[in-house]
Structure 1
Amino acid sequence: MQLPVFLDRSRPETLTDQLTAQLRDGIRRGLVQPGARLPSSRKLAEQLAISRNTVVRAYDTLVLETLAEARPASGLYARSPAAPVLTGRLGAAPPVHGNGGIGTAPRAPNLVGEHHQRLTFDFFPGRPNPSLFPTRAWRRHLVACLSGGAQELVRYGDPAGEFGLRAALCAHLAASRAIAADPNQVLILNGAQEGLSLCAHVLLRRGATALVESPSVQGAVFAFEAAGADVIAVPVDQDGLRTADLRNVVADIVHVTPAHQFPTGAALSLERREALAVWARRHESIVLENDCVGDLRYEGSPLPAVAALAPDCTIHVGSFSKTLGAGLRLGYMVVPPRLIPAFRAAKALLNNGTAWLEQAALGAFMADGAYAAHLARLRASYRLSRDALLDALARHFGQVDVGGTSGGLHVLWRLPPGVPPTLAFETLARRARIGIYGLGSAGAWDATDSPLSRRSVVLGFGGTAPEQIAEGIARLSDVVDDRLDRHHAFVDDLLLPEAAGQPVAFGVSDRPAPSLRRGLALHPVRPRRPSSGRPSRKDPTRMAVIAGIYRYPVKGLSAEPLRGVDLAAGRPFPSDRIFALTRPNVPVDVEDPKWAKKGLFLMLMLEEGLARARTALDLGTMRMTVEVDGNAPLTLPLDTPEGRARAEEIFGRLAGTGDVLPRLVRSRGGHFMDKPDNVLSLINLATVRDLERRWGTSLDPLRFRANFYVDGLEPWEEFDWVGHDVVVGDAVLTVDRRNGRCGATNVNPRTGQRDRDIPPALRASFGHKDLGVYLLAKTGGKVVLGDALSLSGAIEPRGSETTPRGPGESSGRFICRGCYFIYDEGEQASDAPRSETAFAALPANWVCPDCGTDKGKFRPYRDLADTGAA
């Protein structure tokens, strides 16, 4: 490092004082960066032709003033000053002289992002996957270019760019965009943004008119603003720019993103492309076609570019930032012949051309067909990432409204009900180290504070592997649920419209969050679990059996025990959560309700008063029996408006909704589980008993509101079954994932009291809040109480009357797998010989008195109440 130090021997100050003052000033003003190594005392003395002792004394002063630090065997390094001092010279803040005045800082897009390095899952839009960069081929071409033409590095090239690259680009654009252009029409750029800025500089003057899409790309809008143009917004819809709105508009330039509109992702229809060309010719305007992601299309054939339809009045701008990487800073523009001299001159005045080496390597890369093969690999990979994103959104947020799926590296997600508005959602996700982006932070500009700005996020999928996408979206869903678990007033942010443009304050409400009694003794001890995916039981005679089967016809209300159930492949648990109570005034279609996040419904985690009601629903007659606080039961016909209204009144009173009542809605062919996919839930009773032992408290297993309760496993063994198939009765189920518990588990189903704080207790003990697993029905079949549960491929024999009784088995009771009739040896069947009360003593030809099923289809009957866990 050579420091710009100037010593004047005619001044009264000593050379030491002059040197110290200039070094001090340089460090404080940032001319010498913190951490920079200062020249050795010998080298600086030689540079300034002074005594080495003079430099040593100056350096010692800087060390004493803590502006520098000496590192043994390394040297002297500048330190950051405690309080930077800005003077009126270099390093001072630029003066502001009003709008458009000298020194005014124009607006510019920020595509770097201050949070990217701290994010675990980052859905930043437009970022390609670095692992897909063709490193070997690129290195080979770089070496070849250096070996054969290194002399090009030491001289100026054509400001328009390296001819070989321009020729290769013309061939590529002709094949992929139907653009017939001469290489002399092509300019190589330092990214597409330079092209936008060149267009603003060459074509616009103060008072000119520029049309842009709304919403649009910040880079184009800010470039036009900086040129002094008047920017006019034109709306877009599902077919891109609404060209009908241009009928009576005159403008100098119109900026469009026809291949994949940013940020909505809409493709400009062919009819509108033709209409845009007609409009531009009529008004002698220029169409600025921004086509940075035109090479990334996943469905259908690409439409001809606007430059192919109107080459005389269209400037086509593209970039390699999305297909190779933004760090290369390589873009291009194709200009009409009449504009070539003006743009060549502007490019020469701006930077005299783009770096030669990267241009030469890219030209060779395209000429030998490697770029086309690279694009094919990109499309296949990014299509998988896009599908993973869409699948994950549907899995965790239900029926989602997503735009821009046919191409590009991002989709626009219009947020569903039950999710906070964009500003709140973006901030909440970032706190959980997840990067999602509203229009502004994604690099988009919106002319108005529109509902799209307030209720949309841009999700990029290019830079993230499909597995990370699935995990990140799952975590994003949990972020909303976790916030609701911890701050119950957060439900207000999910239901009420926010003030336009105002930040959302999390959890702020006039209604205080209910206090929880934290009665659990927590210890950070992880349970020991088997390392393999196979069962590992201490007692080989113990058998995993179904000890309880439950359904919950109305979300948040009573569990209804079943003796057995018929499962269908790919379908949810029959008649489970088919009804729900929506919160007052939420945007749910009562005639055809869809799945939505749980914040839109009454639920135990917030309205524990619902547990005061004991309910039972006869699905055949649709009559519900309701008993509140032990009072006389009421029977409500839910197939009549009067019956539903009475139910809404009762449950609204229990939930404390006030004068505005909830609405009882029924799903048409679906369910209102906390997840939109067709999952069934399972709880391992041994795990519940392990928690009771650890925490020194009793836990009713029905807190966890599962469909199946299994006994006979080791504690936490169910986690090791994730990803495996299990055989349960006649059905084969896939153990899909672990079940994250919510605040509904805090409510005692027997008393209706919020007497526990289960999710935080699980986190404190194990580092997660998972308990139980979700299952998917792979093949259908009957499942009855007492059926064995085993991993597919390691199937254990089913229980029979000769099988030793497993845990929780109630002596002397057997269940029919045909109709779920219970034979109780203490209450012998009417057609059994009176002298033979034991089931084993019944004759072999004995059949079920209800359905005629033969004796061999009966299984020992186990009830959850008999396991001792309830």
Structure 2
Amino acid sequence: MHQQLESGIRERIRQGLLRSDTVMPSTRALATDLGLSRGVVVEAYQQLVAEGYLVSRTGGYTQVAPAAAGISLPDKVKPTPSGPPRIDFKYSHPDVSQFPRAAWLRSIRKVLNETPHRSFAYLDGRGSEELRSALADYLNRVRGTAAQPQDMLICNGFAQGSRLLLQVLAAAGFRRLAVEDPSDNELREVAAAAGLESVGVPVLDSGLDVEALERSGADVVLVTAAHQFPTGAVTSAETRAALVAWAAKRDALIIEDDYDAEYRYDREPIGAMQGLAPERVVYAGTASKTLAPGLRLGWLILPTRLVEPMSIAKVVDDRGSPVLDQLTFADFVARGEFDRHLRRMRPRYRRLRDALVGRLAERLPDLQPIGVSAGLHVMAWLPADLSEEAVTTAALDRGLGIYGLKPYWVGKPGAEGLVFGYGGLTEPAVVEGIDLLADTIASLRR
């Protein structure tokens, strides 16, 4: 019996199920639980202590020995995971080290000290009224929207908001989603899960090709009008008007993903499309690029007919986003801290972009960046003698994370290029990363 007990404990320690410093049950308690005499448990513990699997501590308790935890059996060799790139140009990584902790803490304290108890009860599906009001005021002032608090919904980032929206639209009879080609591929997977067909529409220098959209048969379209991802194009006034006319003609819907419009470095950003046609456009915003993606704070401005079904879908999905985070962000926005944070981050990100573009011009002049001076990424087409796969693979061998366009094409892959995300890097890292890329490409060309 004691050998069986020893074997069971030893195996669990080797497998990592009993971790380092885990306190074992007392001999008396374990004997009672297993229906054994205490002497059997004592003998098993003593043997495992002698072997180094357990250690006896002062006070009469026994723990898993640090040196023993996680030991693998000889026939179970664990693969050694490769670490992340030393310099990583992965997109969607803002500089979270600049999160305004002191200002956020002031808002948390105010919320905890002054918020009525009833505010911590269940909310309706739209979210906190305080946050919806604060965001409506901010977006109407800064982004030119026509938002009313009662038409807004707070969600856990764009991921949840878009998923719920596509589910609601599919239930309402929408069948085909048009997306920019190239564009972020995540929403296409969400659309497929909701039962919607996705179709790609080419992106021109002036934004989405509306003539191709009309031929696509789509009844809902997703656009990144202020700063197209990944090309960096800005949708022109003529294209915006044509999109709204298309939506009115087909009784269709436009989803406007305004993911990083606050970061325009050469001029004021163009206002949101939602202000042109509030009943034809769903506006989506998020704090992921402006504050931190870990906050999971997003918002939608909805046409009136979608408010109730979206509110019901949100309640069914998770009963509502955390109210303390919503109230804290509401105070943060209302006191002007959000504006101050953005004013502080714009020159920081602009310096990073300028360093990247400048170093590309010096070391890799045939990689010409395209798009406007905005956002947290730069895209460049690759020369004909280079392939994405060869460049990205060779760069990774040098500890450099660089990413191609292939995942972003909707249909047949088009021209090859690279997307440089720089938000989470420092200026020296940006310069060193471009130098590594230049050395990589020079080696490939040789």
- Where on the TM-score scale, by shorter chain, does this alignment land: which range? 0.7 to 0.9
Cα separation, 2, equivalents of 1:151 and 1:331: 24
**Which residue of 415, 423, 426 corresponds with 1:465?**
426
Which residue matches 2:25? 41
Matches within 5 A, 1:120-139: 120-139=86-105
Q: Deviations over 1:506-553 (max 9, x none)?
A: xxxxxxxxxxxxxxxxxxxxxxxxxxxxxxxxxxxxxxxxxxxxxxxx
Q: Deviations over 1:280-305 (max 9, x none)?
A: 12112221111111111112232232
Cα separation, 2, equivalents of 1:265 and 1:75: 57
Which residue matches 1:265? 232
Give the superposition deviation at 1:25.
9.7
**Which residue of 121, 140, 161 corresponds with 2:127?**
161
**Which residue of 70, 75, 91 corresponds with 1:79?**
70
**Which residue of 365, 371, 374 corresponds with 1:404?**
371
Residue identity in the other structure for 1:226: A
Given that 2:13 and 2:19 are in contact with CA atoms closer than 8 Å, whether structure 1 keeps it comes out as no
Q: 1:144 to 1:33 in 2, by over 3 A?
A: farther
Matches within 5 A, 1:269-668: 269-416=236-383, 420-439=386-405, 444-452=407-415, 455-481=416-442, 484=443, 490-491=444-445, 599=446
Cα separation, 2, equivalents of 1:62 and 1:310: 77
Given that 2:174 and 2:220 are in contact with CA atoms closer than 8 Å, whether structure 1 keeps it comes out as no
What secondary structure is seen at the aligned counterpart in 1 of 2:215? coil
Q: 1:154 to 1:278 in 2, by over 3 A?
A: closer
Residue identity in the other structure for 1:412: M
**Which residue of 197, 212, 215 corresponds with 2:182?**
215
Cα separation, 2, equivalents of 1:321 and 1:173: 16
What secondary structure is seen at the aligned counterpart in 1 of 2:200? strand
Q: Deviations over 1:19-51 (max 9, x none)?
A: 987x899889x9x75737645213964994866
Residue identity in the other structure for 2:190: A
Which residue matches 1:564? none
Q: 1:58 to 1:306 in 2, by over 3 A?
A: farther
Give the superposition deviation at 1:209.
1.3
Q: Deviations over 1:387-417 (max 9, x none)?
A: 1110010010125321234211001111235
Q: 1:79 to 1:369 in 2, by over 3 A?
A: same
Cα separation, 2, equivalents of 1:33 and 1:138: 39
Given that 1:393 and 1:400 are in contact with CA atoms closer than 8 Å, whether structure 2 keeps it comes out as yes
Give the superposition deviation at 1:148.
3.4
What secondary structure is seen at the aligned counterpart in 2 of 1:216? coil
Q: Deviations over 1:605-626 (max 9, x none)?
A: xxxxxxxxxxxxxxxxxxxxxx
Cα separation, 2, equivalents of 1:203 and 1:470: 45
2:154 matches 1:188: yes
Q: Which moved more, 1:248-257 or 1:380-389?
A: 248-257
**Which residue of 239, 244, 252 corresponds with 2:211?**
244
Query: What is the percent sequence identity of the aligned residues?
Result: 32
Q: Deviations over 1:272-324 (max 9, x none)?
A: 11111111121122211111111111122322322111211211111111011
Cα separation, 1, equivalents of 2:253 and 2:200: 16
Q: 1:469 to 1:150 in 2, by over 3 A?
A: farther
Residue identity in the other structure for 1:35: R
Q: TM-score, structure 2 length as denominator?
A: 0.86
What secondary structure is seen at the aligned counterpart in 1 of 2:226? coil
Give the superposition deviation at 1:267.
1.2
Q: Deviations over 1:99-132 (max 9, x none)?
A: xxxxxxxxxxxxxxx97x5322221112111232
What secondary structure is seen at the aligned counterpart in 2 of 1:339? helix
Which of the two has higher C-alpha Rg?
1
Given that 2:178 and 2:216 are in contact with CA atoms closer than 8 Å, whether structure 1 keeps it comes out as no
Cα separation, 2, equivalents of 1:343 and 1:243: 28
**Which residue of 56, 67, 70 corresponds with 2:54?**
70
Given that 1:20 and 1:58 are in contact with CA atoms closer than 8 Å, whether structure 2 keeps it comes out as no
Cα separation, 2, equivalents of 1:15 and 1:312: 74
Root-mean-square deviation over aligned CA pairs: 3.4
Cα separation, 2, equivalents of 1:155 and 1:18: 49
Q: TM-score, structure 1 length as denominator?
A: 0.46
Cα separation, 2, equivalents of 1:69 and 1:170: 60
Give the superposition deviation at 1:62.
11
Give the superposition deviation at 1:72.
6.0
Cα separation, 2, equivalents of 1:55 and 1:173: 70
Cα separation, 1, equivalents of 2:405 and 2:56: 51
Equivalences, count: 431
Q: 1:18 to 1:372 in 2, by over 3 A?
A: same
What secondary structure is seen at the aligned counterpart in 2 of 1:474? helix
Give the superposition deviation at 1:352.
0.9
Higher share in helix: 2
What secondary structure is seen at the aligned counterpart in 2 of 1:41? coil
Given that 1:214 and 1:236 are in contact with CA atoms closer than 8 Å, whether structure 2 keeps it comes out as yes
Given that 1:34 and 1:80 are in contact with CA atoms closer than 8 Å, whether structure 2 keeps it comes out as no
Cα separation, 2, equivalents of 1:158 and 1:62: 60
